[in-house]
């Protein structure tokens, strides 16, 4: 029978690790192990993870990312997978949770489609950090059977990592997450996997994603996101696995369709300098017309907003 390893990268997660591990204790199917990788936490995440692993009787280990390996969630996940025993990997972030049937349903799908499909995705709940109130659900129609999902992902890479279970051998064949990417490394891996196997999606809500205050715009500035998305597009090009048409589709989705949103959020939250830096990153990538258009639109909105605030203050 296949065996699942749940890999959890953790950084300064002392406030959340108990809830995360409790959700694993509550699984209806106990045939799994837990591999936690502390990413150099400055709080007591490591000690608490060890304590709750024992308290909940969970099989597995708590590791520390070696100092000679790059810091970050990608490196920590890669190290966790390398030190796992499972044939299949389920990912879980250290502030997220699994619903009780997560592992059970994963096994059901593996047993049903495992000879032809090596990646499974399910629906997710989004809940507010402090209150645990449900904010939304990410749900789409279930697949009747595994599908070729590669072209769909070029237009929709909104995949929660904690909703994925995949075959470890495929993860290893692709050398895991690219540690040179930040915030888009999972997207690159999903794209490459979709070229190698059918994809299955279930609308069962089986994980909870914690929305924290710093999650707005992923806490990233416009320039950073443009830079990382440019690196993602270039890394996908270098694989020679995607046609020029597919690269154009990906570029439109990653940059053309989302840049205005990140520009607006950055202007409002980080100021004019960060906003201009993002436009410069777009300009360097050859998106000159788009950068000029965003500048004109956002400056107009920003000026109107400031003028409105001054008028209200003067009344």
Domain ranges of the chain: 4-211, 218-314
Beta strands in the chain (DSSP E): 4-10, 32-38, 60-64, 88-91, 97-98, 117-128, 134-138, 164-167, 198-211
Dihedral sign of CA atoms 191, 196, 199, 205 in order: negative
| Predicted local distance difference test score (pLDDT) of residue 130 | 82
Strand partners, 62: 36
> Cβ distance 278 to 262 under 8 Å?
yes
| Mean pLDDT, the chain, integer | 90
Tokens 């708590």 sit on residue: 62
Task: Give the pLDDT of residue 270.
Answer: 86
Model confidence at 310, in pLDDT bands (50, 70, 90)?
low
Tell me the average pLDDT across 246-274.
88
Residue 243: per-residue pLDDT? 95
Summarize the confidence of residues 282-294 as an average pLDDT: 88
Judged by average pLDDT, the poorest of 8-17, 94-103, 178-187 is 178-187
For residue 37, what pLDDT is reported?
98
| Identity of the highest mean pLDDT range in 94-103, 177-186, 222-231 | 94-103
Q: pLDDT digits over 43-93, tens only?
A: 999 999 999 999 999 999 999 999 999 999 999 999 999 999 999 999 999
**Which residue is associated with the tokens 């046609």?**
243
| β strands within 92-197, DSSP E | 97-98, 117-128, 134-138, 164-167
- Token pair, residue 181, equals 């990417």
Fold of 4-211: Spore Coat Polysaccharide Biosynthesis Protein SpsA; Chain A (3.90.550)
User: Could you tell me the two tokens for 82?
Assistant: 């390398």
pLDDT of residue 217: 40
- DSSP annotation string for 259-278: HHHHHHHHHHHH-HHHHHHH
Residues contacting residue 152 through CB under 8 Å, at least 6 positions apart: none
């Amino acid at each position: 029978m296949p065996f699942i390893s749940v890999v959890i990268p953790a950084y300064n997660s002392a406030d959340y690790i108990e809830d995360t591990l409790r959700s694993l204790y509550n699984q209806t199917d106990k045939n799994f192990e837990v591999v936690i990788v502390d990413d150099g936490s400055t709080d007591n995440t490591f000690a608490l993870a060890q304590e709750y692993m024992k308290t909940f009787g969970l099989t597995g280990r708590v590791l520390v990312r070696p100092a000679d390996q790059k810091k970050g969630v990608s490196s920590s996940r890669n190290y966790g997978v390398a030190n796992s025993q499972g044939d299949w990997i389920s990912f879980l972030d250290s502030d997220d949770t699994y619903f009780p049937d997560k592992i059970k349903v994963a096994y059901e799908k593996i047993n049903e489609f495992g000879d032809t499909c090596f990646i499974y995705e399910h629906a997710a709940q989004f809940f507010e950090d402090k209150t645990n109130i449900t904010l939304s659900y990410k749900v789409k129609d279930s697949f009747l059977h595994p599908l070729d999902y590669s072209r769909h992902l070029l237009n929709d890479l909104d995949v929660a990592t904690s909703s994925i279970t995949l075959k470890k051998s495929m993860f290893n064949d692709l050398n895991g997450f690219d540690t040179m990417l930040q915030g888009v490394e999972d997207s690159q891996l999903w794209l490459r996997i979709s070229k190698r196997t059918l994809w299955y999606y279930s609308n069962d809500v089986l994980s909870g994603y914690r929305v924290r205050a710093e999650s707005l715009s992923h806490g990233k500035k416009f320039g950073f996101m443009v830079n990382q998305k440019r690196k993602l597009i270039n890394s996908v090009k270098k694989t020679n696995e995607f046609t020029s048409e597919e690269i154009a589709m990906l570029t439109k989705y990653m940059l053309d369709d989302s840049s205005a949103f990140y520009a607006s959020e950055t202007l409002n939250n980080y100021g004019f300098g960060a906003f201009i830096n993002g436009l410069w990153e777009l300009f360097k990538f050859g998106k000159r017309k788009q950068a000029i258009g965003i500048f004109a639109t956002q400056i107009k909105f920003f000026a109107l907003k400031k003028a409105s605030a001054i008028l209200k203050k003067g009344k």
